[in-house]
Amino acid sequence: MPRQLGDLEDAVMTRVWQWNRPVTVREVLEDLQQERSIAYTTVMTVMDNLHQKGWVRREVDGRAYRYTAVSTRAAYSAALMNEAWSRSDNPAAALVAFFGMMSAEQREALRDAMRIVQPDRSGGAAPDEPAGEAAGEPADGAAPDAGR
């Protein structure tokens, strides 16, 4: 599980994720300088650290590197949520509390996500799948734990 990014690491990764292309230290620096005063060497060090931690890969481009994200911001967020949830001594209560904090838009996004990851529970098999397999039953009709 990745540890949470620091503020400057997050600011750099936000740009790498948003731009979704190989970026240079100079490009990130120029964008960051619109919000804060920051040195080239600081951004270079942060990007090198992100590379060492496995957040970005880099390729030589002339005398500079071009950095690309290894995974998406969504995957990073999901890993953080999973880590926080798994540390709870009562995961069900943690989920109830988390759901209670959600906005209406977030609850709708959760419903959409659940429709994507859950199979159709209507009992109908997929066109190329036998009915028993669609319902999670072994094709041979044996009980799932038979013979164990």
Mean pLDDT of 20-31: 97
Lowest mean pLDDT among 52-61, 70-79, 106-115, 135-144: 135-144
Going from the C-alpha of 118 to that of each of 39, 114, 122, 140, the distances in angstroms are 48, 6, 11, 24
Which tokens hold the place of 127? 């066109």
Question: In angstroms, rounded to a whole number, what is the distance separating the alpha carbons of residues 109 and 33?
Answer: 34
pTM: 0.67
pLDDT of residue 52: 95
Which region holds residue 37: left if phi is over 0, alpha if psi is between -120 and 50, else beta?
A: beta
Distant-in-sequence, close-in-space partners of 53: CB < 8 Å, separation ≥ 6: 2
Question: In angstroms, rounded to a whole number, what is the distance separating the alpha carbons of residues 17 and 78?
Answer: 15
Question: In angstroms, rounded to a whole number, what is the distance separating the alpha carbons of residues 15 and 69?
Answer: 10
Tell me which residue has tokens 């996500």: 113
Q: Is 25 helix (H, G, I), strand (E, B) or coil?
A: helix
Per-residue pLDDT tens for 98-133? 999 999 999 999 999 999 988 666 654 444 444 444
Q: pLDDT: is 86 or 41 the higher one?
A: 41
Which tokens hold the place of 87? 């540390």
Select from 96, 93, 95, 15 the least CA-distant residue to 55: 15
